[in-house]
Amino acid sequence: MGIEKMKMPQLGESVTEGTITKWLVSPGDQVNKYDPIAEVNTDKVNAEVPSSFTGTIKELIAEEGDTLEVGEFICSIEVEGAGSADEEAPAQETPASDDSAAKEDKQEEKKPVKKADKAQGKVRFSPAVLRLSQEHDIDLDQVEGTGRDGRITRKDLQKLIDSGNIPKAGDAKPAAPAKEEPKQAPVQEAPAPAAAAPSKPAAPAPNVPVMPGDVEIPVTGIRKAIAANMLRSKHEAPHAWTMMEVDATNLVGYRNTIKGEFKQREGYNLTFFAFFVKAVAQALKEFPMINSMWAGDKIIQKKDINISIAVATDDALFVPVIKNADEKTIKGIAREITELAGKVRSGKLKSEDMQGGTFTVNNTGSFGSVQSMGIINYPQAAILQVESIVKRPVVMDNGMIAVRDMVNLCMSLDHRVLDGLVCGRFLQRVKEIIENISKENTSIY
């Protein structure tokens, strides 16, 4: 028998951490390889984490609500046979055997957490605990943990924050400050893999007064992740914006004549959005620079045209991906839009459904918006907002005024990668494709 430790997996491109929202197993449970053991929430997806081994759950290292970096240990499993190959290499460099390591793990499990150990940096706190303590200036040496073997949990800190009774450094034992100093220095040196850089402490939360009748809504892990990604995009990518007005009268007429037959034949709706995604994919093929990403010392121009589409729920925003959209028909794109939106709203979206996006198209017109400036889906170089199609009086080329179906296309771009000229030509091409849609020019299948 041996002890294997499972790590937080990477559940998507650019995903660096995940929050354990629910454990599906308990210590002592038997699991098979690939059995789901936990539900994990990231900024991109909610997913079940499968077991990497067959055996018995030994210890749940992370607690529900803990946020851990990719590669950090989340649980240990007792399995038959020797350790995995990637853990055997380090063992050869040290005299300790797998059996002795297992014994040390058992001894560590039985050893209660002491304040002295915390002060000397011997206790490893979870990233969520470290982050919360730094945000609220909590002295962990003065906190009594309620977790396994006295470990401090995120819930312990949240209870202190809610009560307002936050222990600060220096509050305890004021009569012997000289003895406290050696304890304080090592605390700052304790491992903090997921915490922000110590030179830049997190900004304090704004002091918002709560009045009678106000409703306090806890910020979920996925909402925090969305906020962090949006902030990163705005801070790192110099955003520029451009908008183009498009006459969609021909599109509206053509789609309205075939939508009933299409729904009856295919079983799902033929939306306007599918036409726009197809037009964008075609234009990206002609203007490949738009299909690029910033990589520090170089720009990566992506070969595949994978369109991310924004799908919102009541409390979150997801961006599943239509892979190789330029190779798909309008019918195929409409089917994928329907399937991906259904997965999001039923909670069945998988990590692979979110990976590989190279350009984002957002259907802001679905809720009546006529003009908006989207935040770029980092690390992509641009995002296109398709606004609501509305009837407006338009002066035609012959000088006559006519009522036309008009739509605004609003594009946000990363000015490190793209300039206004190439984006203007790209939007002109999308406009040309949309305005020339007709029964004669456009094939749905």
Q: What is the residue-wise DSSP string for 64-129?
A: TT-EEETT-EEEEEEESSSPPHHHHHHHHHSS--HHHHHHHHHHHHHSPP-HHHHHTT-S---HHH
Q: Taking the alpha carbons of 44, 45, 46, 52 in that order, is the dihedral positive or negative?
A: negative
State yes or no: pLDDT of 100 exceeds 60.
no
Task: Give the pLDDT mean for 262-267.
Answer: 94
Which of 247-251, 339-343, 382-386 is predicted least confidently? Answer: 339-343
pLDDT score at 86 = 41
State yes or no: pLDDT of 248 exceeds 60.
yes
pLDDT score at 118 = 52
State yes or no: pLDDT of 201 exceeds 90.
no
Q: What is the pTM of this model?
A: 0.60
State yes or no: pLDDT of 78 exceeds 60.
yes
Task: Give the pLDDT mean for 46-56.
Answer: 86
pLDDT score at 229 = 76
Q: Verify whether residue 415 is a known catalytic residue.
A: yes
Q: In a 3-state reduction of DSSP, which class is residue 57?
A: strand
Highest mean pLDDT among 63-72, 102-111, 312-321, 392-401: 392-401
pLDDT score at 223 = 72
Please list the helix, strand and coil fractions of the chain in percent, rounded to the nearest 5, in that order: 35, 20, 40
Same fold, 2-110 and 225-435: no
pLDDT score at 91 = 38
How is the chain split into domains, by residue range?
A: 2-110, 115-199, 225-435
Among all chains, which residue has been given the structure tokens 């706190």? 125
pLDDT band at residue 93, thresholds of 50, 70 and 90?
very low
29 and 77 Cβ atoms separated by less than 8 Å:
no
State yes or no: pLDDT of 357 exceeds 90.
yes
Among all chains, which residue has been given the structure tokens 């919360």? 132
- Class of domain 2-110 as given by CATH: mainly beta
Task: Report the share of the chain in percent with pLDDT over 90.
Answer: 44
Task: Give the pLDDT mean for 262-290.
Answer: 96
pLDDT band at residue 109, thresholds of 50, 70 and 90?
very low
pLDDT score at 192 = 36
Residue 31: CB atoms within 10 A of its CB come to 21
- Class of domain 225-435 as given by CATH: alpha beta
Among all chains, which residue has been given the structure tokens 């040390």? 104
pLDDT tens digits, 146-182: 776 677 877 788 778 877 777 766 655 444 444 444 4
Active-site residue, from 171, 304, 315, 419? 419
Which of 2-11, 143-152, 210-219, 307-316 is predicted least confidently? Answer: 143-152
Residues in the chain: 445
Q: Verify whether residue 136 is a known catalytic residue.
A: no
Task: Give the pLDDT mean for 212-240.
Answer: 82
Cα gap 440→324, rounded to integer Å: 25
State yes or no: pLDDT of 280 exceeds 80.
yes
pLDDT band at residue 14, thresholds of 50, 70 and 90?
low
State yes or no: pLDDT of 217 exceeds 70.
yes
